[in-house]
Structure 1
Amino acid sequence: MTSTSPFSRYPFTPIAGRPGYEWPNGQRLAVYIGLNLETFAFGEGLGAELAPGGPQPDILNYAWRDYGNRVGVWRMLDLFDALDLPVSVLINSQIYKDCPAIATAFRKRGDEFLGHGRTNSERQGTMPEPAEAALIGEATAAIVQHEGRHPGGWLGPWISESPQTPDLLDEAGYEFVLDWCMDDQPVWMQTRRGRILSVPYPQELNDIPAIVGRKMNGDDFADMIVDQFDEMLEQSAAAPLVMGIALHPYIVGQPHRLRHLRRALAHICRFRGDVFLTRAGTIAAHVRSLPDGIVPGVSRA
């Protein structure tokens, strides 16, 4: 087996009628924050745009993104500390060179670091397999060097995958992937060596599609978070669910949006005893401990 098409990575299994289970503390809704720590090349490569960019160097959009690392993420750190919220850090390995103080700050909090490529100026899905494997290897080695452990999970820059990406991640020692948004529960995906776990990562509850793509305001995005949480908390009475919140400091770290984000996260924290506020890696570890056949997807070989 050299590769697997996306449609054969996992079988169709409707959420209705699946086996039930609980999260470690007996709750049925797990909530985690996926914080994207990203860096961008100056004068070249990919990047989200606040406004249509001009010829390179595109000063407006480069500086807007850089605001997230210089200012926005530090305001968000204060927010996470004030609410005592754990965070899953999705880190471009270039962060360790460009702005290492950010990694130090989250390391001191005890947050987990997950792979997110080298930089968000590039997209791995268009690379030949050897080049993609090298990208994964370089990003992984940087996290191991600085954090002292292999990252458990991976989110591709721009959610970009080649047909071989899950295979390469499995072979590189990753236990779970966040690229797939097809479910509200973790799902086992087929790889050419065995399987890898897909942990739900949101593309609706994500500030880039919502605010950059759909031009939503910060209050609307916060309302989305609250509505998603309230509805999923009710739905979780019938089945265990995962709610991720995808954030980028250069977007929601802007003061006028941060105020609304604070409101939404404070709402979630008021239900702290009723939900499992955690990190993506903890979700994956719990699912991996369950008997085979409980979690949808491919079975253990």
Structure 2
Amino acid sequence: MGEGVGQSVRGRTPYLPIVDRPRIKLPGNARVAVWTIVNVEDWSAERAMPRAVLPPPMGQPLLPDVPNWSWHEYGMRVGFWRFLDVLQARNLKASFAVNGSAITTYARACEAAKEADWDFIGHGFLQGPMHKVEDQDKAIRDTIAAIKKLTGKPPRGWESPGLTETDETLDLLADAGIEYVCDWVMDDLPVDLDSRGRRVTSIPYTVEINDVVMSAVQQQPSDEIFRRGRDQFDRLYLEGADIPRVMAISIHPYLTGAPHRIGYLEKLYDHILSHDDVVMWTGSEILDWYRAATDENA
């Protein structure tokens, strides 16, 4: 294998169906571990927007793209604070997937996440796909350094912008000390990935209970996060009586933080919290549980 070239995707982890693995248990025989990922991104007004709510007028793209940039900016000025209120009212902590540059651009919000004791996750340095980053290693390490400067400790987890990776991304993340990733949305339980013989764990993330997909891509009604999230949870709760499951809820301030959507996020949490045998964790807590449980069965 040439220097700087990583393993193939399929070579990172063997195919092993969930029904064939050693059985592990959540504390108190809980059925489902639920985690929330709040995504905070830094969109450069000088570049094409990562996504758009308005098409360019008369098909003529223009930079700066004021309306679409402002659509995202609303989330950081207003929507983020709704998330903070909703989570704190229920004594919940989020995992905080944040661009390294956002630590400075949105310092007030990042300070609030730190004060709330959220679990910081690296999310690229500036919002954009990893395969378009000129120096991935520098972007990863700059992101880790920015988070460590604010929180006093490096992040344990990583979510690539748009969940994008090249063949070498996972190895560069492992080299930089990252322990878990969110990009591999392929299971209801954590899965270990091989990085040059080292252990990196994939924590179950989601493109299904994810407001980018529901609201920005599929353009579903405002209550979709509740309807789909409730149905997702109910099925995992049923199955979790036999094999425990992990459920992710991925939200962005400019989407679910909008006034017409935030109430449905509240309804989803209240539905989940009305059930016994559920743990509300962060990504790091799921990682620690999984590694302790699998080490016991090794």
Report whether the alignment pairs 1:289 with 2:295. Answer: no
Tell me which residue corresponds to 2:159.
155
Secondary structure of the 1:290 match is: helix
Distance 1:225 1:47 in 2: 25
Overall identity of the aligned pairs, in %: 33
Aligned-residue offset at 1:106: 1.4
- Give the corresponding residue for 2:267: 263
Distance 1:92 1:252 in 2: 19
Change (3 A) 1:149 1:223: same
| Runs of 5+ consecutive residues of structure 1 not aligned to the other structure | 296-301
Q: Which stretch shifts more, 226-235 or 44-53?
A: 44-53
Question: What does residue 97 of structure 1 align with?
Answer: 104
Matched, 1:242 2:246: yes
User: Secondary structure, in 3 states, of the residue corresponding to 1:44?
Assistant: coil
Q: Does 1:126 align with 2:132?
A: yes
SS class of match (2:192): strand
Q: Could you tell me how far 1:206 is from its partner in structure 2?
A: 0.4
Deviations 1:215-265 (A, max 9, x none): 101212210011111110001111121100000010000000111111111
Q: For the residues of structure 2 that align with 1:144 and 1:24, how far apart are their CA atoms?
A: 30
Greater CA deviation, 136-145 or 214-223?
214-223
Is the Cα contact below 8 Å between 1:88 and 1:279 reproduced in 2? yes
Are the counterparts in 2 of residues 126 and 162 from structure 1 also a CA contact under 8 Å?
A: no
CA distance in 2, matches of 1:193, 1:12: 17
Give yes or no for the alignment of 1:228 onto 2:232: yes
Is 1:218 the counterpart of 2:228? The answer is no
What letter corresponds to residue 118 of structure 1 in structure 2?
F
Whether contact under 8 Å (1:167, 1:193) holds in the other structure is no
Structural RMSD (CA): 1.5
Shift of 1:52: 1.5
Kindly indicate whether residue 200 of structure 2 is the aligned counterpart of residue 196 of structure 1: yes
1:121-175 deviations in whole A, cap 9, x for unaligned?
x2212345xx100100100000111100111100001111011111111110011
Q: Name the structure 1 match of 2:20.
A: 17
**Match in the other structure for 1:180:** 184
Asked if 1:280 corresponds to 2:280, the answer is no
- Please say if residues 127 and 162 of structure 1, whose CA atoms lie closer than 8 Å, have aligned partners that are also in contact: no
Gaps of 5+ in 2: none
Q: Is the 8 A contact 1:207 1:251 kept in 2?
A: yes
Tell me the distance in 1 between the aligned counterparts of 2:249 and 2:50. Answer: 20
Q: Is the 8 A contact 1:170 1:193 kept in 2?
A: no
Tell me, yes or no, if the aligned pair for 1:25 and 1:276 is still in contact at 8 Å.
Answer: no
Which of 65, 77, 90 is the aligned partner of 2:84?
A: 77
Tell me, in whole angstroms, the C-alpha distance in 2 between the residues paired with 1:283 and 1:110. Answer: 16
SS where residue 269 of structure 2 aligns? helix
Q: Is the 8 A contact 2:49 2:69 kept in 1?
A: no
Match of 1:145 among 145, 149, 167: 149
SS of 1:184's partner is coil
- Cα deviation for residue 294 of structure 1 reads 5.0
1:218 is paired with a residue whose SS is coil
Question: 2: distance between equivalents of 1:268 and 1:57?
Answer: 41
Are the aligned partners of 1:124 and 1:135 in contact in 2 as well (CA < 8 Å)?
Answer: no
Letter in 2 for 1:109: A
2:151 alignment partner AA: E
